[in-house]
Amino acid sequence: MIVVARTGNEAMAEAMRQINPDVVAAYPITPATEVVQLFASFVADGLVTTEFVPAESEHSALSACVGASAAGARVMTSTSSQGLALMHEILYIAGGMRLPIVICLVNRALSSPINIHCDHSDSLGSRDSGWLQIFTENTQEAYDTTIIAVKAAEEALLPAMVTTDGFIISHSMERVEMLDDKDVPIFLGERKVINSVLNIDKPLSFGSLDLQDYFFEHKRSQIEAMNTCLPIIEKAHKEFGDKFGRYYPIVDEYKMDDAEVAILCLGSTGGTAKVAVEKMRAQGKKVGVIRPRVYRPFPKDQLLKALAKVKAVAILDRAETMSGQGGHLYNDVRAILYDAKSHPLIKNYVYGLGGRDISIEELESIYDEMFAIQKSGKVDKDIVYFGVRGE
């Protein structure tokens, strides 16, 4: 193990170098560009044996990933925002074909208006595409999860995206404990290939036209794979922890055991909220953080367990569903609470769109509002747009 200072992008690129995928097909886009260009430099310096496909668009990048993965290769790419949107069509195809491709995704707002900074409209806009989605809080977690995701994806036969928050993590330098180069391939092993489009002795047709008589059964089996893959993801995390000493849960709970109110959020905001928790606990206020790392599949049981511990929860969404019903997390959490035994009071804070920062003090103010809600027993306004001028 070596300790280095790396940005989120550098850490993900280093993880890719150590994974040494058979094929990487990619296209540059801010703020994920560095992952691609660093990887290209690893190829140029002979540090990996990867076949690098510098595609002419993200659509072609993921299309090439699909071809390469169907050929039995271990395949990775990286993108962000508009790039993921351009891949959208092929995301569903990769999912349907059960190809364990891994995307290092750097979260950035979708246009318009055009913006290069972080929100989750890109990744959450792809939440129904049949990909595992894991949100990371910091650079270390991004590095570790990139490696874990390859194992989980290949065992579940599902594609996976590992996300960092654009600029907040992708461009911030942090302390990272890196694994030894030799340990990563040993941890991952070889991809187990069931069928390959390169097997000329067993010529199969991949991506057949599937009509009314079979489509639904095939889709149902994909749904089943998604419904039952959480233990596989957990196992990959546990194996990583057992081997390297860093354990990650499906849902990260911080100071939740005696918390009265909590913030539930994705990604880097979890880290900021933990600092707010420390400050408030120093004042005797019992607050906690619930941070789903795995967002797809949605970890219902783990979340219900965490939610049951508190009386009021602020659900922070860095994206909007444009449905009049607030953000994605809020909707998903409300849905699982329907048949839960105990219901905490919940309020949706849509925040930070287009990279607007959220500060420790602002998070403290949200905790204070939660205490007020806990006290009054009611939520006066269930969806608010936090930090917007004119609200």
Chain residues binding another protein by CB under 8 A are 22-23, 25, 49-51, 53-57, 59-61, 63-73, 75, 89-90, 93, 196-200, 203-211, 214
Q: Min. distance of Cβ 33 from another protein in angstroms?
A: 18
Q: Min. distance of Cβ 188 from another protein in angstroms?
A: 14
Measured CA to CA, the distance from residue 64 to residue 70 in angstroms comes to 10
Residue closer to another protein, measured from CB, 208 or 323: 208
Q: Min. distance of Cβ 31 from another protein in angstroms?
A: 23
Q: Is the peptide bond before 100 cis (omega within 30 degrees of 0)?
A: no
Residue closer to another protein, measured from CB, 1 or 209: 209
CA-wise closest residue to 351 among 359, 340, 343: 359
Q: Do the Cβ atoms of 84 and 62 come closer than 8 Å?
A: no
Q: Do the Cβ atoms of 291 and 250 come closer than 8 Å?
A: no
Q: Min. distance of Cβ 198 from another protein in angstroms?
A: 6
Q: Min. distance of Cβ 85 from another protein in angstroms?
A: 15
Residue closer to another protein, measured from CB, 113 or 203: 203
SS3 388: coil
Q: Min. distance of Cβ 17 from another protein in angstroms?
A: 15
CA angle, residues 329, 76, 86, in degrees to nearest 5: 60
SS3 218: helix
Residue closer to another protein, measured from CB, 153 or 319: 153
Which amino acid, one-letter code, is at 5?
Answer: A
Can you read off the two tokens belonging to residue 321? 């569903």
Residue closer to another protein, measured from CB, 56 or 242: 56
Residue closer to another protein, measured from CB, 21 or 355: 21
Measured CA to CA, the distance from residue 149 to residue 66 in angstroms comes to 17
Q: Do the Cβ atoms of 290 and 313 come closer than 8 Å?
A: yes
Residue closer to another protein, measured from CB, 56 or 361: 56
Q: Do the Cβ atoms of 152 and 233 come closer than 8 Å?
A: yes
Please, which residues have CB within 8 angstroms of residue 87's CB and are 6 or more apart in sequence? 58, 59, 61, 62, 79
SS3 91: helix
Q: Min. distance of Cβ 194 from another protein in angstroms?
A: 14
